[in-house]
Amino acid sequence: MTTIPQQLLRRKPIGPDAGDSPLVRTIGLFPLMAIGISCTIGTGIFFIMSEAVPLAGPAVVWSFVIAGAVAGLTALCYAELAGAVPVSGSTYSYAFVTMGEGTAMLVAACLLLEYAVSAGAVAVGWSQYLNELLGNLFSVHLPHALVNAPEEGGVVNLPAVILIALCALLLVRGTKESVVTNAIMVCIKLAVLLFFIAVGIAGWNSDHFADFAPYGISGIAAGAGVIFFSFIGLDAVSTAGEEAKNPKRNLPLAILLALLVVITLYVGVAVVAIGAQPADQFAGQEAGLSAILAKVVGASWPSTVLAIGAVISIFSVTLVTLYGQTRILFAMSRDGMIPKAFGRVNERTRTPVHNTLIVAAVVAVLAGVIPINFLAEMTSIGTLAAFLVVSVGLIILRRREPDLERGFTVPLYPLTPILSIAGCIWIITQLRPITIVVFVVWAALFLGFYFLYGRKRSILEPGNAEPVPDVPLTTAIRIEKDEP
């Protein structure tokens, strides 16, 4: 009989699962890249400015740069791990391979918080732009009670709930259909943000940058903490490990290319937004970028164009976030950590239908009744914790398996992962104490679930599954010869 320390530290070799997966490899390089762009751009720029600018002032530009720099360091670590361990489950699977079952469950707690809460936050932001669009096109606004959480004086955020339902239906239909739809939406999103920069720069006023950092470095760091949740998109790419074509090549490339596009647009839009509108007008502003264009032009048509783009693009963010959540739960179910219902795949659509419907129901409740500011900050700490584990896991895997085949190798090792770890810890310390407390309580509850359910049902528990030999990853990983 295995002891608790042995259960917490046992590691899972990778290989047979990826080869025998019921999921199908249908996602090429551009759709993978689109997953990363889609899940990142939209959350952090279309509506988070109203939360971050009041914390940092015009220096929110540096908040985006800092968050992007930390995310960039971690993205390099993600790229190496994604190429070396190309399976579903993202950071959870990486932790299971490098640090053991106990750490993997802690990471799973982070990821569940990260994805579910992020999807809720994005859906809430979507309802803001939908209301703006209805007002511009038809001079109609949805009742306050139906577009706000109870804490904000409403009853339920109904558009957010409807958005979650629509995304769930598309995901149930099939992965290929979902990623093609997402790629089209990403193209629209990029065009809309370039449109914002081109039009918004006409309202440029350098005086808006005069009092650049009214709240000092702590304000800049606090802004980076709120913004950071949008970089969940980097993790979302790696959740497609078992559905990506030629994963050892395409996963690292998709992560790095997505990061380059995202940081460039984030900083560009932030600079133009601050130049066009004083920092003190961002607080509490709904559909912020759309409102800025309306002021700059003095007409509603540019804001209508932006609102249409935001409605389409934020739909894609929610779609990808739900996708990532279901694939992480799929991997956990396959490992015995959660009920088998999350791992069942429909024979016709090759998608985890039960899993998707359960996730959609939970996220719909979050989006319907919880305010956006709390959702955004809770997602940030989940993302930061997951990124922290990725960087630590990279160091462990390098030491344990130096000869493992990798599709990408992190430059300036070990400086890059060490800087990533330091950056994540620093941003976490700048979050509100209540956010950290709620996160610790959530992680403790999830570990409690593991002790009561997962550790005795784990596939690594003797008698639960075919014995898995404790062999090095270099021999356990099955090398795929997939099409590019």
| pLDDT-above-90 percentage for the chain | 8
Which of 235-239, 437-441, 470-474 is most confident? 437-441
Mean pLDDT of the 358-366 span: 88
Following DSSP, what letter does each residue of 47-116 receive, concatenated? Answer: STHHHHHHHHGGGHHHHHHHHHHHHHHHHHHHHHHHHHS--TTTHHHHHHHHT-HHHHHHHHHHHHHHHH
- pTM of the model as a whole: 0.76
Residue 483: pLDDT over 60: no
Model confidence at 404, pLDDT cuts 50, 70, 90, reads confident
Residue-level pLDDT at 395: 92
Per-residue pLDDT at 345: 85
Q: What pLDDT score was predicted for residue 474?
A: 35
The token pair at 60 is 């929110």
124: confidence class by pLDDT, cuts 50, 70, 90: confident
Whether 15 has a pLDDT exceeding 60, the answer reads no
Q: What pLDDT is recorded for position 17?
A: 43
Per-residue pLDDT tens digits for 134-179: 887 888 888 888 877 676 677 888 888 888 999 888 888 877 777 7
Name the least confident of 113-117, 147-151, 413-417: 147-151
| pLDDT at residue number 112 | 82
Confidence grade of residue 476 (pLDDT, cut at 50, 70, 90):
very low
For residue 5, the Cα-to-chain-centroid distance in whole angstroms is: 31
Q: Which of 102-111, 121-130, 287-296 has the lowest mean pLDDT?
A: 121-130
Contact 284, 132 (CB under 8 A): no
Report which residue type is found at 77: C
* Section 246-259 average pLDDT: 83
Confidence category of residue 58, pLDDT binned at 50, 70, 90: very high
- Give the pLDDT confidence score for residue 484 in this predicted structure: 43
- Judge residue 276's burial from the number of C-beta atoms within 10 Å of its C-beta, 0-12 exposed, 13-18 middle, 19 or more buried: buried
Query: Average pLDDT over the chain, rounded to whole?
Result: 80
What pLDDT is attached to residue 448?
Answer: 92
| Tens-place pLDDT, residues 432-461 | 888 888 888 888 998 999 999 988 889 888
Per-residue model confidence (pLDDT) at position 372: 56
